[in-house]
Chain A
């Protein structure tokens, strides 16, 4: 088999906090193939953003964060690179867009300056060439009158426009991998759809792989080929997108599915939300992390943590009883 573009093995990200060390990402493994769109889903606080930012080692390693495991980009372990080598990867081979376009651009520099900065860090261009490239990028991401916009400041643009600028910036050096951390969450629905279309288009045209982070399963169904489901810093299920939607195995994934509002369903019916609360990072149970919220949990679950195991092909799940649970449910429906 061909080497995957990105291969994460047993990644752990620890933070030093006032209340001691916490492990926000605890042994994550997944891989991204060339050109694919991989979805990463999970409730708020499950460690999606930490995972994303760990891939580019954006956390301050001197005083707050430390990493363990492997993050291999085309076979090269990023965790072993020097600072300078890492700077060459960021924005060049792997780039990132963030959740909140309103605060992700530097307010005191023009759009053009910020775009040209990315270009000129990684490519040997004159100011003039870089400016022309910036204008072309803005046009490509669908920003009207880019010649004018290029000398404007972020506060002069709407949220949707700013996210387009972020995308333009991320694409400036034609990266092999784009990490999109909830790129549409802060935008309203129509703009959301436009940004998603744009990302799909660019993925197809440029053959760039995307790690698409979201807590919106509807969006996942629309854009992703494969999905990783996270819970409290770990992967609990991984599958192709159709498979995940037709036969979710982990009780947590099933809960998430039921939480999607159905267009044709009974509107008066309450949205199914998974009961209970997520344990805090400094009070992680020794058994299965989901046990306290799982209706199927028994003594085994509370004592021993299950591993991520292969169910079939590339469908993986982290649950002691997933087979029984599925059988039981099938019987209940029959």
Chain B
């Protein structure tokens, strides 16, 4: 089992390696010279050349990559030319709000989707099931930013229950922190729950048809434990996969939602960096996103192993 875990971890190395090359090369594929942008329009050719030499831009490509990689591995992603701070610091500062929104949205999504999906599967074909199916279909068709705007209008502007926009860090108190996140979290989470609910329903339906469910029933197991013990544990694998895969989407969604709710997250960071061609930051964000994907996949794999004894042998 430990061997399996180690294997999984090592299999991630090549993925990260490829991503790092892509992130590195990105700078060379985008038009515009960072050095001339940095020095402004009045810079002379000599000044530009001197800075290029100083920053190592004249070294062979592989050498540049190598230097860069060593730094990255030490957690040094370079400095932001425009914010005058290390990229790592900039990312960490902006990551809090984005991650908070994504995690809150995921929690909301799971809390809605699991019971709804299970109920729909249990009463397949009933009116309630049809309602759930229709509702989730609508949910998947609505973009989350639109839903966010509607929430903002209703809960924020009309009813005044929640602050319309903005962000307060956790250090200002939990409720203060939460109330600013609630609307973006709901906007993303409810939309997200549609997909997970549908997956839960279909996964549960499939498992409920399995022979071992008949066996459990024939032993006298109560209907409730048939659903929540025998079926759910088996149905969980595909559900976890969707949750994991869509967590990446949630992060992307959070970036959009941040703009609407004016939250200083990764979205803002990326937008500002693109506008100012702050390559080191863009690179850093790409690496971070890739790293998150990889970690999420690893967590999914490990959860699989916990839930299904057949995995890992």
Query: B309: which A residues are within 8 A, CB to CB?
Result: 107-108, 110, 153, 155
B222 interface residue per 8 A CB criterion: yes
Instruction: Flag if A108 contacts B308 (CB, 8 Å).
Output: yes
For B220, give its contact among A88, A107, A153 (CB under 8 Å): A88
Contact partners of A107 in chain B: CB under 8 A: 212, 234, 308-310
Cross-chain contact B220 with A104 (CB below 8 angstroms): no
Measured in the bound complex, the distance between the Cα atoms of B310 and A274 in whole Å is 43
Task: Report whether B310 and A106 are in contact in the complex, using a CB–CB cutoff of 8 Å.
Answer: no
Contact partners of A109 in chain B: CB under 8 A: 230, 233
Interface pick from B50-58, B119-127, B253-261: B119-127
- Inter-chain contacts of B216 with A (CB < 8 A): 106
- Residue-wise, chain A 87-128 has the 8 Å CB interface mask toward B (1 for contact) of 111111001101010011111111000000110011000000
Chain B residues with Cβ below 8 Å from A62 are: 123
Are A106 and B125 in contact, CB atoms less than 8 angstroms apart?
Answer: no
Inter-chain contact B308/A91, CB cutoff 8 Å: no
Among residues 116 to 150 in chain B, which have CB atoms less than 8 Å away from a CB atom of chain A? 123-126
CB-based nearest A residue for B125? A63
| Chain B residues, CB < 8 A from A98 | 211, 214-215, 218
Q: Is the CB of A117 within 8 A of B219?
A: yes
Please state if B123 and A63 are interface contacts (CB–CB under 8 Å): yes
**A59-102 interface mask toward B, CB cutoff 8 Å, 1 = contact, 0 = none?**
00011000000000000000000010001111110011010100
Does residue A53 face the partner (Cβ distance < 8 Å to B)? yes
Q: Does the CB pair A89–B211 fall under 8 Å?
A: no
Contacts of A235 in B (CB 8 A): none
Q: Which residue of A lies closest to B218 (CB)?
A: A96
What count of chain A residues pass the 8 Å CB interface test? 32
Partner of B233, one of A63, A100, A105, A108: A108
Q: Is A58 an interface residue (CB 8 A)?
A: yes
B39: Cβ under 8 A from any A Cβ: no
Known: A103-B212, A104-B212, A166-B215. A155 touches B310 (CB 8 A): yes
CB distance from B202 to the nearest CB of A (A): 17
Among A107, A108, A118, A153, the most chain B Cβ lie within 10 Å of the Cβ of A108
Convert A154-168 into 0s and 1s, putting 1 for each residue whose CB lies closer than 8 angstroms to a CB of B: 010000000000100
Say yes or no: B211 contacts A108, CB within 8 Å. no
Question: How far, in whole Å, are A122 and B125 apart by their CA atoms in the complex?
Answer: 33
- Report B269 CB to chain A, min CB distance, Å: 42
B222 and A87 within 8 A (CB) = yes
Chain B, residue nearest A119 (CB): B219
Kindly state the separation between the CA atoms of A121 and B219 in the bound complex, as whole angstroms: 8
CA distance A122 to B219 in the complex (A): 9
Q: Which residues of B contact A134 (CB under 8 A)?
A: none
Interface residues of B in 257-296 (CB under 8 A from A): none
A90 and B220 contacting across the interface, CB-CB below 8 Å: yes
Instruction: Please give the distance in Å from A69's CB to the nearest CB on chain B.
Output: 20
Residue A37 at the B interface, CB < 8 A? no
Residues of A within 8 A of B123 (CB): 62-63
The answer to whether B212 touches A121, judged by C-beta atoms less than 8 angstroms apart, is no
Determine how close the nearest CB of chain A comes to the CB of B220; give it in whole angstroms: 4
What are the residues of chain B within 8 A of A153 when measuring CB–CB?
A: 309-310
Residue of B nearest to A52 (CB): B218
| CA of A84 to CA of B215, assembled, Å | 17
Q: List the B residue with the shortest CB-CB distance to A152.
A: B309
> Are B234 and A63 touching (Cβ within 8 A)?
no
Chain A residues near B233 (CB, 8 Å)? 108-109
CB-CB contacts of B291-310 with A at 8 A, as 1s and 0s? Answer: 00000000000000001111
On whether the beta carbons of B214 and A53 are closer than 8 Å, the reply is: yes
With A106-B230, A107-B310, A155-B310 known as contacts, the answer to whether A90 contacts B219 (CB < 8 A) is yes
Nearest opposing residue in chain A for B122, CB measure: A62
Question: Which residue of chain A has the shortest Cβ distance to B237 in the bound complex?
Answer: A108
Nearest chain B residue, comparing its CB with the CB of A101 = B211
How far does the Cβ of B144 sit from chain A's closest Cβ, in whole Å?
Answer: 34
Q: Which residues of A line the B interface, CB within 8 A?
A: 53, 56, 58, 62-63, 83, 87-92, 95-96, 98, 100, 103-110, 117-118, 121-122, 153, 155, 166, 169
What are 16 A-B pairs at a CB distance below 8 A? Answer: A53-B214, A56-B218, A62-B123, A87-B221, A91-B218, A95-B218, A103-B211, A104-B215, A106-B212, A107-B308, A107-B310, A108-B308, A110-B309, A118-B220, A155-B309, A155-B313
Given contacts A92-B220, A109-B230, 18 further A-B contacts (CB under 8 A): A56-B218, A58-B218, A62-B123, A63-B124, A63-B126, A87-B220, A87-B221, A87-B222, A98-B215, A103-B212, A107-B212, A107-B234, A107-B310, A108-B233, A108-B308, A109-B233, A121-B219, A121-B221
